[in-house]
Amino acid sequence: MAKAKTAAAVIRKKKWYPVVAPRLEDMPVGETPAFEAKSLVGRTLLANLMTLTNDPKKQHVNIKFMVTSANETQAQADPVGYYIMASSLKRLVRRRTDRVDDSILCETAEGIKIKIKPFMLTRNLVKDSIKTRLRKISREYLIKYAKQKSLIDLLRDIVDYKPQEELRGMLKRIYPLKALEIRTLEITKDASDERSLVQIVKELSAHEPESKAEVSAA
């Protein structure tokens, strides 16, 4: 009997669970393996934006999803991050240009703490005072913009390139940019917050009105 149980344990296999995003009209975002559905909660996975939108121009962007619930049929996940591949930004940088990076702590309309990292590339070499002004204006703008949006709407706007275009138009009064991107957006939390990130995301899903808008391929 003991040998039979041991053999059964050895041949136990993981099951592949499809993952969908309910707040993006049940958009399929991938599959992930697990021995049982409950172990999927809290798991994260990256989905390439080209696959989600069928737009080859978006292949340099990944969207991060976190599983918030799962059953034996499928797992449900919410988008929690936006990442541009470092290699694509590196290709933009040329000699006699200045790369200006920043990391900005923001808060969404529903009180979710997020970190936004913009990437700015000048057309020529610039003084440090110009870089400081570019960072200052971009910080003020992104903090205000994020505060007016829910997390799901903010991610959708970034995918549609709305804040990037508006901010670039503002910054050209200081110095014309060759490129401006949001290279990273991700959920964060205060050290005093005892909740885990998955708890924060689950609470967000439970209380935010369901969004029917899809990720656009603009």
- Give the type of residue at 169: G
Domains of the chain in start order, with CATH, are 15-84 (no CATH), 86-193 (3.30.479.30)
Quick one: which of 68, 47, 67 has its CA closest to 58?
47
Q: Report the pLDDT value the prediction gives residue 9, as an integer from 0 to 100.
A: 56
Q: Report the pLDDT value the prediction gives residue 10, as an integer from 0 to 100.
A: 62
Band the pLDDT of 206: cuts 50, 70, 90.
Answer: low
Tell me if residue 165 falls in helix, strand or coil.
Answer: helix
pLDDT in tens, 155-191: 999 999 999 999 999 999 999 999 999 999 999 877 7
In the block, tokens 């050895």 appear at 10
Q: Is the pLDDT of residue 114 over 90?
A: yes
Which residues does residue 99 pair with via DSSP β-bridges, in sequence order? 121
Q: Is the pLDDT of residue 145 over 70?
A: yes
Quick one: which of 48, 55, 22 has its CA closest to 160?
55
150 with 213: CB under 8 angstroms? Answer: no
Instruction: Read off the tokens for 85.
Output: 């591949």
d(CA 31, CA 185): 23
Q: Is the pLDDT of residue 7 over 90?
A: no
37 with 75: CB under 8 angstroms? Answer: yes
d(CA 141, CA 159): 17
Percentage of residues of the chain with pLDDT beyond 70: 87
Q: Report the pLDDT value the prediction gives residue 209, as an integer from 0 to 100.
A: 47
Element (H, E) at 78: strand 75-84
Q: Report the pLDDT value the prediction gives residue 125, as an integer from 0 to 100.
A: 94
Tell me if residue 8 falls in helix, strand or coil.
Answer: helix
Q: Report the pLDDT value the prediction gives residue 202, as an integer from 0 to 100.
A: 72
Q: What is this structure's pTM? A: 0.83
